[in-house]
Structure 1
Amino acid sequence: MNQQNVKQMTIKCSDGELLAATIYEPTITVKGAVLMAPATGIKRQFYGNFANYLACNGYGVITFDNRGIGGSSTVPVAKSASSLQCWGEKDMPAVLECLKEVFPNTNYHLVGHSAGGQLIGLMHNAMDISSMFNFACSSGQLKNMKLAYLIQAHFFMNFFIPFSNAMFGHTKSQWLGMGEPLPKDVAKQWQQWCNGQGYVKTAFGKTVHQHYYNELTLPSLWVNAVDDDIANNANVADMMSVFPKLNGQTLTLTPSDYGLSDIGHMKFFSSKSQTLWPLALNWLDKH
């Protein structure tokens, strides 16, 4: 796989926040452009090999760090005012506008990993997206998890997050292998939304006063894996129910079918799982 043209840039949000981003430009004719929307607390570099694969196949791609994460962490994490909600309302729309400027006159797609797909309904410009391919995107509702994992998830969400926020002013999620350190309001919303039904739906009429979940009709493919304790089938269905008009399809992967030992919540985007990447490419090519 050849390395395509890769450029680092800074994207300015409507409120002046600056996001670190990476652009992958195809060296062949552009077929479309992709907003690579990351999971909670995951840096853009994690998606680099996958983004390059899409670029090799004709898709312009932007990966980015949400505010308060990685290269977009402009203040000490304990002082960050970032939240999941502003990631969807401010960060993702700004990245989409940048994608449209860099790759004009084409179709725009969202590839969402976990939170990246959950938050699309907060984007004021979501109607500009032609299709969505999600991996491990679900409501993450605790009550739908199997008991063995539920104990771990309950500990992280309902004990570790409040304790860490109180002690350190942010959540040291890296201590438990849960990505980058999280701003306290990101972790607090994550906790609240996973304890309710429909994830972000729990905030409708409370902190979320305008959204576009009820209006989105774009074609979407929701892919999960049988060994994902978080994005299990029940939680995928729960998240999809937040989009009443969405044209959604589901696909559940079994690792052994693709010569893999595991996929879980994270490994779709690993270079060791390249055998899975044509699933995303084929979806984009059709839409």
Structure 2
Amino acid sequence: METIPIQVPDGTVLPVRLFEGRAGMPVVVMFPGLGVPGGYYEKFAEGLVEHGFNAAIGELRGQGDSRPRPGPDSSYGYQELASVDYPAVFEVVRERFDASTPYLLGHSMGGQIGVMYAARIRGHLGGLILVASGSPFHRGHGVVRGAGLFVGSAAMSVTANMAGFWPGDRVGGFGRQSKVLISDWSRFARTGRIEPAGADLDYEKEIGELTLPVLSISVQADDLAPKSAIRYMVRKFPKADVTTWHQEEPLGHNGWIRNCSSTVDRVVEWLRDRE
């Protein structure tokens, strides 16, 4: 493994972990979920390499080994990650694996932003792999949990704006995060629409035009992205060639990352079907 630090215009440093498989084989570029460090996915990347694939792991801005940590001056959200950070990571990946077709694997929020990125660069990805990456829209989470999500997401946004950032390292979980990022997620949870602050295009419209292959994976015992939430996400791209698979092992929202052999096998099978 090699780690290459890249710096985006606001000064944030994002490490990109590169894992070399066989020359010319596809490269799977992985993006974490909210509050999950990129290093947590190394075992999954190594599993892909064992099958000959190349792999890379990005970092969501401000978490994991990215610096600096979010604070009151942080003003980035979904828009900046999709339009600045993801392209910067892919620039490094394409330079290193210039003969490889890139696929984006996004976990949870990493997948939500990955769908936005795919809509921005239509035609430049081999496909999307979404793992435990559903819509946070409250109606996709049942009546009781959905009501809590509706109220809780609004409360998180208010808290983040009052504090200047989301203090998830102290209360509420998901690590310290930008207030704009949390507001974007909260809006998505309340409305079901991807409409980030500062958007430079109509993401809902552009996502609806995607035609690329998509593998959408749900995981047993995942309370944050149940099957119903996964379905709400997949409905956003009706023209895409979507394959769905349910991981029957009760691994939950994050357990599949380390206990990954069966999920790696399913991803590899899907990738080989694309060759």
TM-score band w.r.t. shorter chain: 0.7 to 0.9
**Cα distance in 1 for residues equivalent to 2:79 and 2:260:** 31
Aligned to 2:100: 106
- The Cα offsets for residues 224-279 of structure 1, whole Å up to 9 and x where unpaired, read as 02422232233222212222321112122322xxxxxx222222212x34233211
Aligned to 2:234: 240
Give 1:38's match in structure 2, choosing from 32, 43, 51: 32
Write the letter of the residue equivalent to 1:64.
G
Give 2:159's match in structure 1, choosing from 163, 167, 173: 163
**Cα distance in 1 for residues equivalent to 2:209 and 2:98:** 25
**Cα distance in 1 for residues equivalent to 2:255 and 2:207:** 28
Aligned to 2:253: 265
8 Å CA contact 1:7–1:22 kept in 2: the answer is: yes
TM-score, scaled to structure 1: 0.84
Write the letter of the residue equivalent to 2:35.
G
- What is the Cα deviation at residue 140 of structure 1? 1.3
Gaps of 5+ in 2: none
8 Å CA contact 1:149–1:229 kept in 2: the answer is: no
Aligned to 2:84: 90
**Cα distance in 2 for residues equivalent to 1:210 and 1:116:** 19
Deviates more, 1:41-50 or 1:212-221: 212-221
- What is the Cα deviation at residue 203 of structure 1? 4.8
Write the letter of the residue equivalent to 1:217.
T
SS at match of 2:104: strand
CA RMSD of aligned residues (A): 2.4
Q: 1:64 to 1:269 in 2, by over 3 A?
A: same
SS at match of 2:98: coil
- What is the Cα deviation at residue 24 of structure 1? 1.2
Deviates more, 1:246-255 or 1:141-150: 141-150
Aligned to 1:73: 67
Percent of pairs identical after alignment?
Answer: 22
Q: 1:224 to 1:10 in 2, by over 3 A?
A: same
Q: 1:149 to 1:263 in 2, by over 3 A?
A: farther
- The Cα offsets for residues 151-194 of structure 1, whole Å up to 9 and x where unpaired, read as 6534541224412431x211122345633211111111111111
Q: 1:164 to 1:106 in 2, by over 3 A?
A: closer
SS at match of 2:207: coil
Give 2:142's match in structure 1, choosing from 138, 143, 146: 146
- What is the Cα deviation at residue 112 of structure 1? 1.3
Give 2:261's match in structure 1, choosing from 263, 269, 274: 274
2:191 counterpart of 1:196: yes
2:109 counterpart of 1:115: yes
Q: 1:35 to 1:248 in 2, by over 3 A?
A: same
Aligned counterparts, 1:223-238, within 5 A:
223-238=217-232
**Cα distance in 1 for residues equivalent to 2:46 and 2:260:** 14
Write the letter of the residue equivalent to 1:19.
L
Gaps of 5+ in 1: 1-5, 256-261
Q: 1:60 to 1:12 in 2, by over 3 A?
A: farther
- The Cα offsets for residues 90-135 of structure 1, whole Å up to 9 and x where unpaired, read as 1112212221111011211111111222223432334211122211
**Cα distance in 1 for residues equivalent to 2:265 and 2:131:** 13
- What is the Cα deviation at residue 222 of structure 1? 0.6
2:3 counterpart of 1:8: yes
Give 2:176's match in structure 1, choosing from 152, 175, 181: 181
8 Å CA contact 2:44–2:260 kept in 1: the answer is: no
The number of residue pairs the alignment matches comes to 270
**Cα distance in 2 for residues equivalent to 1:76 and 1:229:** 27
8 Å CA contact 1:120–1:126 kept in 2: the answer is: no
TM-score, scaled to structure 2: 0.87
Give 1:48's match in structure 2, choosing from 18, 42, 46: 42
8 Å CA contact 1:224–1:253 kept in 2: the answer is: yes
Write the letter of the residue equivalent to 2:2.
K
Deviates more, 1:71-80 or 1:236-245: 71-80
Give 2:207's match in structure 1, choosing from 201, 213, 222: 213
**Cα distance in 2 for residues equivalent to 1:245 and 1:94:** 27
